[in-house]
Structure 1
């Protein structure tokens, strides 16, 4: 079921928007508070919003689906001539490619993300959780994001590279931190300007290059079972820059987004004691009732690691009755659409039960934390399973008591990072324990 849309406007009209969609003040407002700006823009101006003269936000799931699925030929992610390495980019990676080059790279990696590999991921996730929990003292206050980052690194590295990371883990973490500092800054200077943030990024990327070369050179053949195996063992072997870019994006995106999703889940459970108790009961039954999966989906709805994605019109396209010229940058915001009360009753409340018994959003494209269509995330099902399995393993062994939840805030960088999530950890007894405060 979808809700009826208002009659389309006369053709030729520009979409409405803050300051008429032309003011430079909009770009400044977005830079300072992107989540608030996009939320207000959609609330005040509707489903097709002009943010600047060349940027349009699409809010309605009909348009999300058409942009990501039906209009794939009219919209591109990367313009020809923009594949430069520098700053936050790894241009030779699949996610930064287009056309047949993109299709070739996706076909190459696809076998490493097949469903039959989930069993191995599940076993490794539980082992990694056991080691992590074993390092926590009873009643200790932890920085949840820091701990979930270490945990995600342990799990993701084995899946992608086939073995735990040694010193490479530090280089990867430093590179991710540098990228996030850069992309969360409201004012960004060109990467050649020697600012402290840019210099830190350059150092981190150089160290990452050296670490990835060691990882690639030390790879032991696995028959192409892992992503690294697919990259290194393919004949003819891809050149180092291409393998490096692909491996960097896989490790960085998998590590950071999983850590963010797990941290947001811990935060959400801290605001919903009944849901936390239900998850504890489900975890004691090894998640057989699907409640952990529902918790994972709901946390990704409220706090999607990918909070906005964009495409560019390669030729004129129409959305919501507005004809948008070629060159228009089209934004789709998971943060905005997934918190829309038309598709999710009580949209700001953590309600895992909305995903139980086959339920879900009333519109297929009201929920797209991993994108959709041909360019949807290759590892989406694996990422969701990882969050689910870690949630089961964690909640079966410990409960988290939130510390200062009122101080938690999202930081929209390349991913939606959780800031200020802290908790005291208590070892769970065999029969479990209800939430206590």
Structure 2
């Protein structure tokens, strides 16, 4: 039985008679969601079966969901067309299946992995930055992805990707990122360009993932902790689960760190005083603290810069769940089968909870600053499904940003052309820069 359309008692934009708000969302999703929240309140009907939540308490209730009222994929929305790449991976699973997979992987993502990330990032940073020359333009959105792919493969799987593997995986990630996270859906059979490109690259990427699974490092929990946990944890995964889990680990780990590093660098390029402060802090930290957690602790301002970049340009900019039964938010009843959406882009820039919400102010994260409500900042999610690699990704990002800016001052080329591109992740586009000596 299909879910009934939402009642008109829930406020929201009227949209087109035939396609509703699909065109408005597709044309500029960031503006559409922001305008919906600002114009219609904290509970907004954005489609026939879709609601946007904006109040921090409602966001927290939906994401934490201690009562089992929401699911990642309900039968109703699957019939309406939403399907996900890597469907058997942990991040796309639900209920007891998700709990078992999370339990299998969680031990690998402890403090030891975060410490190792802080240690090995130096070598990969040297490989990138050693090739930069002052005065010679670079493409951050091409160079940083190569660094992050090698970093996550060495950290999680025991050895860095080869140049060919980096190119192949990048070709896989690009079309997957093009797939919309929109809760306003095209039919699954619709032959989008992204789906065609994914099918074309799938065979080679499958070979890369299979090589990972067959690697001798798979039996070494110290050198390849994540790969070992996946292959040897309980319950033992099927071949399809191995492929899907590896695919999502590569994609999510790569894209989050890559986008965060580039956005933080863009913001520092636009704010020279903050850039100088990062340079001074990083120079002292790299000179005085050994690679590892001790250095991370010596980079509080750089960490604040990264947190502020995650506020303004969170790579995850949209999250959705499906209501399993009728739920109430803001005194309004949302029926079972409705897709309930929250947006980091909207919440992180809500002027009710953030002073000078659209401004880059790293100092808001330093000691003594008043915290914002919990549901107003969630770049890695909230609750039991918070990103399993959040601490690792943050550590990588802080160290890479510190390493770049202690060595070079990046002069942005045509900064007015830099734009956020809301694909599966919020990607920076048009980012060209010239490294300059300080």
TM-score by length of 1: 0.89
- 30-39 or 112-121: which moved more? 112-121
**Residue 191 to residue 41, structure 1, CA distance change in 2 (3 Å):** closer
The answer to whether the aligner puts 1:424 opposite 2:434 as a matched pair is yes
**Residue 46 to residue 414, structure 1, CA distance change in 2 (3 Å):** same
Q: Please, which runs of 5 or more residues in structure 2 have no aligned partner?
A: 1-6, 286-295
The answer to whether the aligner puts 1:267 opposite 2:262 as a matched pair is no
Secondary structure of 2:180's partner?
helix
- 229-238 or 50-59: which moved more? 229-238
1:397 Cα deviation from its structure 2 partner? 1.5
Identify the match of residue 99 of structure 2 among 86, 97, 103: 103
Q: Which residue of 1 aligns with 2:119?
A: 123
Q: Which residue of 1 aligns with 2:134?
A: 138
Q: Which residue of 2 aligns with 1:350?
A: 360
For residues 14-163 of structure 1, the aligned pairs below 5 Å read 14-19=9-14, 24-71=19-66, 73-80=68-75, 82=78, 89-163=85-159
1:171 Cα deviation from its structure 2 partner? 2.1
**Residue 157 to residue 358, structure 1, CA distance change in 2 (3 Å):** farther
1:156 Cα deviation from its structure 2 partner? 1.1
1:183 Cα deviation from its structure 2 partner? 3.1
Q: Which residue of 1 aligns with 2:346?
A: 336
Answer yes or no: is the 8 Å Cα contact 1:298–1:352 preserved in 2: yes
Secondary structure of 1:49's partner?
strand
1:416 Cα deviation from its structure 2 partner? 0.5
Q: Which residue of 1 aligns with 2:387?
A: 377
CA distance in 1, matches of 2:82, 2:318: 21
Answer yes or no: is the 8 Å Cα contact 2:74–2:337 preserved in 1: no
Answer yes or no: is the 8 Å Cα contact 1:21–1:49 preserved in 2: no
Q: Please, which runs of 5 or more residues in structure 1 have no aligned partner?
A: 1-11, 428-432
Q: Which residue of 1 aligns with 2:3?
A: none
**Residue 305 to residue 282, structure 1, CA distance change in 2 (3 Å):** same
Q: Which residue of 2 aligns with 1:169?
A: 166
Secondary structure of 1:24's partner?
coil
1:52 Cα deviation from its structure 2 partner? 1.4
Q: Which residue of 2 aligns with 1:276?
A: 275
Q: Which residue of 2 aligns with 1:223?
A: 221
**Residue 20 to residue 186, structure 1, CA distance change in 2 (3 Å):** closer
Answer yes or no: is the 8 Å Cα contact 2:183–2:339 preserved in 1: no
Answer yes or no: is the 8 Å Cα contact 1:403–1:423 preserved in 2: yes
Please list the CA deviations of residues 180-223 of structure 1 after superposition, one character each: whole Å capped at 9, or x if unmatched.
Answer: 23438999865655565432210112221121112211242113
- 397-406 or 199-208: which moved more? 199-208
Answer yes or no: is the 8 Å Cα contact 2:90–2:102 preserved in 1: yes
Answer yes or no: is the 8 Å Cα contact 1:142–1:423 preserved in 2: yes
For residues 306-325 of structure 1, the aligned pairs below 5 Å read 306-325=316-335
Answer yes or no: is the 8 Å Cα contact 1:22–1:51 preserved in 2: no
Q: Which residue of 2 aligns with 1:3?
A: none
Secondary structure of 1:400's partner?
strand
1:234 Cα deviation from its structure 2 partner? 3.1
CA distance in 1, matches of 2:189, 2:369: 50
Identify the match of residue 409 of structure 1 among 405, 411, 419: 419
CA distance in 2, matches of 1:20, 1:366: 27
- Aligned-CA RMSD value: 2.6
Please list the CA deviations of residues 37-96 of structure 1 after superposition, one character each: whole Å capped at 9, or x if unmatched.
Answer: 00111111111111112101001101111111145510111225949x997510110011
CA distance in 1, matches of 2:183, 2:324: 28
Secondary structure of 1:56's partner?
strand
Task: State the aligned residue count.
Answer: 417
Secondary structure of 1:183's partner?
coil
1:240 Cα deviation from its structure 2 partner? 1.4
Answer yes or no: is the 8 Å Cα contact 2:121–2:399 preserved in 1: yes
Secondary structure of 2:14's partner?
helix
**Residue 236 to residue 354, structure 1, CA distance change in 2 (3 Å):** closer
CA distance in 1, matches of 2:256, 2:269: 20
CA distance in 2, matches of 1:289, 1:202: 43
